Structure 1
């Protein structure tokens, strides 16, 4: 009997090209932005109105860092133990030179949060209460500005002391802190024996338990209703030299300053401009992608919220829809929508595409990490116009079940694919990148396992599907990376689901993706 691997085709999926200003293309966001500028760069630079919320020290750190962002930031020279090849790093030319944006620290809208109040809030015994109070201290400053000031703000930036990151996330280890009782007991039990604080503490505010105790997710959920985009940055990311351990080394390893500048500047552009900084080239017209994800709602173990992040590739941006809540878990340990909810969700996607383009999509790809039930699929098809071919694609991460090596023991080139049959393939979305002469990763890359599960019309070629997925790994506008290991439909759907399941995100049915990341 022959080796089954002999029958499998090994193929290379070309690296997708990106479009920038003047109709120029490049496969690397940093090179394209440096050489040509954003896809829809203005003829004249635009000054951003930036709002900053932080402690006194945090505001000073960001102000100083923003001055540096306006100029050239070089990649530091290699250390003695490093190889001279550092092609994966790029100098940052300056935010105006690269993006056509001007930020003036003297004109920032600054709102100060008291460090001691933050410290006290995050030491409250009940972590849900502690995180909510910490979030309130920040968000209340934005609410005050909206009610009392006329100056509009394009984006709000949250500068966090390190203890916020350490204490205000799920399963945070708060051992050793002098925890103090608040309005609730350790396990959500309301305290009713505090007459002294009657009228001061709202003991009826038990909706705090509808949110996961996570500062980042709660801020994003709260700002959905305020209609503001935001960027959350740790003080240690901007000034690691100011936060040293007893041995005199930074308390955490951070990216070098040029990379930090690239990532933050890209996020600021995406969150304040109508068009994304780059787009994919050679995109098939009238194709729509939708990422489907299920996330558990806090304190409701039998209910889940379904959210879809769809990406219009010819525009490069995405719209987020909130689906229905329900007990979607089935006996096969997967999550599937009932017919009415499935039909409603796809109808939202189709109608939004039609609003933007004036016609229905030719193809609608639904990306998910699990399979699709018969009931679910039939509802999807019924909600789809006849001229639209709907295709269900499962994209699963793997962990060592398939390995390929180049020249014996080197990682394969990113874009390598191993075809199992006409509908199944492994795709290495991470791997060796020739132009950088390196593989950026800690271990031998694992592939994605891609399956074209169903199609209402002609089944697309598996290589076409893989090419689309490769393209979707290059449009993460919250950073300026060469690529991601996951397509945006899966990566961002997870982030969106984490925000939409928060109780404070209720009634947020349809928003651009930039509000969630």
Structure 2
């Protein structure tokens, strides 16, 4: 609010945006963007949510309202697919309503769009998620394939083309957000999905709900503006005292099949630089899941390849290799995969493995009106410690959250490093959630988005993507 974003001299000025949605929602989105171009004042002075001075005032960017690219989605099409009882068919068709014209625009039109706002109605939010079922109705449409027909390779005598189109829907996860992000990864289209009720709640909520929701008007303005700025290529903030030549990798695993006995999983790595920005490297799908131990472990070759990708990207950016690479994971590293990691960094960097997991075994209380300070560390071994990433913040003279916080359990499991330094780094990495204007998360960003990135990478069969910035996944 006082000094502007970190990249204010690099990302500034008028930006071209696109909006895709129904006519009503596009109009509402433009109305909302004009609203946050001006100050947004907190309706409840007793709640510690700062006022928002306005998009251009804070971030130095403005929207070209005279030339907003708009793509229309017909209400009738959304309503038609809403009646589909098969959730795979319903969500697949909904996603394609948005994805097909977005990809067509990126391939055929010359006017560049810096970011697309995808505005969805509440019906898509409600019935575009896993396990969602539409209410029974005589108007419902039963279109789909039985389970034994979905993966069939046998040619049908009739309606072969129609059945192939239906089969495609079962290759994707029933999740509108993840499926949409996955389908546009290869096109490198930057998007922000906006839910109808978040910008039009005064039109659809009761008076009591409106009074509660408007308390968050300033928070939403900060969050949307902050993620907009980041997705336009700017860093809202940067850590003040990061160590040079250090990068952090968060390993991402996601099972590709729901069968509990299946070992197949997708692996990816999130690399975070000293700037706090991130890149995602997709690894191979393989038998990385061990049902007995409940852990994921790579083969030596795949461990070598995914670290090599990360090192090559770092070298391309800085013309040198990092001095240290810290690999963060929720489980221990086995000897086979660690050998692959070490081979990849030989003669280039020092590598350290850190296991991070949330711990609810005990709490620390103190004789005070507030809980334990955020940043408290209790070392219980040469390479192990508990770290409180939530709690009382002396600078704010208050605590984040109302509960007595739990610590996270940190252990250096491979390589050599100072536990005090490792804990300081991890505490810093809790401040890098650019997707929301949050001072400090409970877990470091290396693990914060691991699950969501894994879900996008496995939201469809054979998702094609190269090395992409973090902004394409959030």
8 A Cα contact 1:222 1:505, kept in partner? no
TM-score normalised by structure 2 residue count: 0.92
Q: Secondary structure at the match of 2:164?
A: coil
Q: What runs of 5+ residues in structure 1 fail to find an aligned partner?
A: 1-33, 79-83
1:242 and 1:95 map into 2 onto residues whose CA distance is 24
8 A Cα contact 2:370 2:398, kept in partner? no
Deviations 1:348-370 (A, max 9, x none): 11111111111111100000011
Aligned partner of 2:269 in structure 1 is 308
8 A Cα contact 2:42 2:215, kept in partner? no
RMSD: 2.5
Aligned partner of 1:171 in structure 2 is 131
TM-score normalised by structure 1 residue count: 0.85
Q: More deviation in 159-168 or 490-499?
A: 490-499
1:240-259 equivalent positions in 2, closer than 5 A: 240-245=201-206, 249-250=209-210, 253=213, 256-259=216-219
Q: 2:385 aligns with which of 416, 419, 425?
A: 425
In 2 relative to 1, CA 45–286 (structure 1 residues): closer, same or farther, beyond 3 Å?
closer
Structure 1 residue 150 corresponds to structure 2 residue 107: no
1:338 and 1:45 map into 2 onto residues whose CA distance is 45
Q: 2:333 aligns with which of 363, 369, 372?
A: 372
Q: 2:303 aligns with which of 339, 342, 355?
A: 342
1:231-270 equivalent positions in 2, closer than 5 A: 231-245=192-206, 249-250=209-210, 253=213, 256-270=216-230
Aligned partner of 1:277 in structure 2 is 236
Deviation at 1:98, TM superposition (A): 1.0
Q: 1:354 aligns with which of 289, 293, 315?
A: 315
Q: Secondary structure at the match of 2:297?
A: coil
Q: Secondary structure at the match of 1:420?
A: strand
Deviation at 1:415, TM superposition (A): 1.0
Deviation at 1:189, TM superposition (A): 4.1
1:75 and 1:505 map into 2 onto residues whose CA distance is 46
Structure 1 residue 161 corresponds to structure 2 residue 121: yes
2:11 and 2:410 map into 1 onto residues whose CA distance is 44
Q: 1:507 aligns with which of 460, 464, 472?
A: 464
Q: Secondary structure at the match of 2:116?
A: strand
In 2 relative to 1, CA 45–509 (structure 1 residues): closer, same or farther, beyond 3 Å?
closer
Aligned partner of 1:325 in structure 2 is 285
8 A Cα contact 1:126 1:186, kept in partner? no
Q: Secondary structure at the match of 1:466?
A: helix
In 2 relative to 1, CA 141–170 (structure 1 residues): closer, same or farther, beyond 3 Å?
same
Deviation at 1:319, TM superposition (A): 1.0
Q: What runs of 5+ residues in structure 2 fail to find an aligned partner?
A: none
8 A Cα contact 2:128 2:174, kept in partner? yes
8 A Cα contact 2:433 2:441, kept in partner? yes
Q: Secondary structure at the match of 1:460?
A: coil
Q: Secondary structure at the match of 2:189?
A: coil
Q: Secondary structure at the match of 2:186?
A: helix
Q: Secondary structure at the match of 1:269?
A: helix
| Superposition misfits of 4+ residues, deviation over 6 angstroms | none
1:84-233 equivalent positions in 2, closer than 5 A: 84=46, 86-87=47-48, 89-176=49-136, 180-185=140-145, 187=147, 189=149, 201=162, 203-233=164-194
Q: 2:450 aligns with which of 485, 493, 497?
A: 493
In 2 relative to 1, CA 255–304 (structure 1 residues): closer, same or farther, beyond 3 Å?
farther
8 A Cα contact 1:360 1:385, kept in partner? no
8 A Cα contact 1:286 1:363, kept in partner? yes
Which structure is richer in relative contact order (CA contacts within 8 A, separation 6 or more)?
A: 1
Deviation at 1:413, TM superposition (A): 1.3
In 2 relative to 1, CA 299–180 (structure 1 residues): closer, same or farther, beyond 3 Å?
farther
Deviation at 1:42, TM superposition (A): 2.7
